[in-house]
């Protein structure tokens, strides 16, 4: 077992031969099987199996697991650990990435299953492959960088993971009235819900909602919602080729003309010009990276270290 951060660990052991062991977790775990076989047990019965390329999530508590090497390689996994407060901080922003409505979020929902997993989507496989290279190379990350990577992982799962895995993570966040207020607000970013309806969902009058909102977010609801939608637009413009009109629609702006106007007002550039500039910058960065690293390693390492 090794680690570069108190909450990121690589579990690697050539001697794992399939013995069921008991583990007590005080944190929420997001992991990835690099090689070998992982099995989860409850009351002596196997409830889940994960193989190379699978991602898994495990909640706090006592767990019985089996780690078995394959014929070719020893068992290896990489796990990222989150305390509940940390997970809640990231979860409060999840609706910016995944359009869960407040009604769909599992407030107070419980489940008998204490783990969840799936075949890791390609983006997440690349993330963990880069993490594995980090361990192999002996390179470390600063505290700030690692905290960013942990948040990035949760965001990627919300963007590319299944609804089941996303809901499993949300069930392990705190659902206090304070947390619910922010979840409802974030869940309304991409809805057509009027402000008085959002206030009602938060069990507040419109004036009380506006006062509480400004205390929490530091600005008016209208300004904040516009900024969050523009943030999402930046991501879509950088990472996709969909038309500007579709970006406008997905980010809930009333029409393309208004979107272009408000975008230029905030960033001093039109959406199309921003996309062209971002693509040119990415090409320059990629060319520079290729000259510094072997071609086969550049893609995965850049995803983790850049």
Give pTM, 2 decimals.
Answer: 0.56
- Residue-wise pLDDT tens digits, 220-278: 999 999 999 999 899 889 888 899 999 999 999 999 999 999 999 999 999 999 999 98
pLDDT, position 298: 36
- Residue-wise pLDDT tens digits, 90-108: 765 554 555 555 444 444 4
pLDDT, position 110: 43
What is the mean predicted confidence (pLDDT) over 119-128? 91
Inter-residue contact 51 to 111 (CB < 8 Å): no
Residues 6+ apart with CB under 8 A from 159: 97, 98, 123
Q: Write down all domains in the chain, each with its CATH number in brackets.
A: 2-171 (2.60.120.810), 177-278 (1.10.10.60)
- Residue-wise pLDDT tens digits, 155-211: 888 878 888 888 788 777 755 556 668 777 887 888 888 999 999 888 889 999 999
Among 148, 115, 149, 150, which residue's Cα sits nearest to residue 25?
115
Cβ count near 298 (within 10 Å):
15
């Amino acid at each position: 077992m090794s680690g570069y951060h108190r909450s990121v660990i690589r579990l690697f052991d050539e001697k794992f031969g399939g013995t069921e062991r008991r583990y007590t977790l005080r944190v929420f775990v997001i992991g990835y099987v690099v090689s070998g076989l992982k099995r989860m047990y409850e009351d002596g019965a196997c409830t889940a199996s994960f193989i190379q390329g699978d991602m898994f999530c495990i909640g706090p508590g006592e767990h019985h697991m089996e780690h078995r090497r394959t014929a070719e390689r020893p068992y290896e996994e990489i796990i990222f650990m989150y305390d509940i407060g940390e997970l809640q901080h990231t979860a409060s922003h999840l609706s910016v990435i995944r359009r869960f409505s407040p009604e769909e979020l599992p407030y107070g929902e419980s489940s008998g299953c204490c783990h969840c997993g799936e075949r890791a989507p390609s983006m997440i496989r690349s993330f963990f492959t880069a993490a594995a290279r980090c361990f192999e190379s002996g390179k470390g990350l600063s505290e700030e960088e690692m905290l960013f990577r942990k948040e990035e992982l949760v965001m990627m799962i919300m963007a590319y993971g299944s609804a089941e895995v996303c809901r499993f993570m949300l069930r392990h966040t705190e659902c206090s009235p304070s947390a619910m207020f922010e979840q409802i607000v974030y869940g309304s970013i991409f809805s057509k819900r009027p402000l008085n309806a959002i206030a009602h969902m938060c069990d507040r009058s419109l004036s009380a909602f506006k006062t509480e909102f400004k205390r929490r977010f530091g600005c008016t609801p209208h300004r904040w919602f516009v900024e969050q939608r523009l943030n999402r637009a930046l991501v879509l413009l950088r990472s996709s080729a969909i038309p500007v009109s579709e970006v406008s629609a997905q980010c809930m702006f009333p029409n393309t003309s208004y979107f272009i106007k408000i975008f230029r007002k905030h960033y001093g550039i039109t959406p199309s010009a921003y996309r062209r500039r971002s693509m040119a910058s990415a090409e320059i960065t990629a060319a520079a990276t290729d000259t510094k690293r072997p071609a086969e390693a550049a893609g995965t390492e850049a995803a983790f270290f850049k």
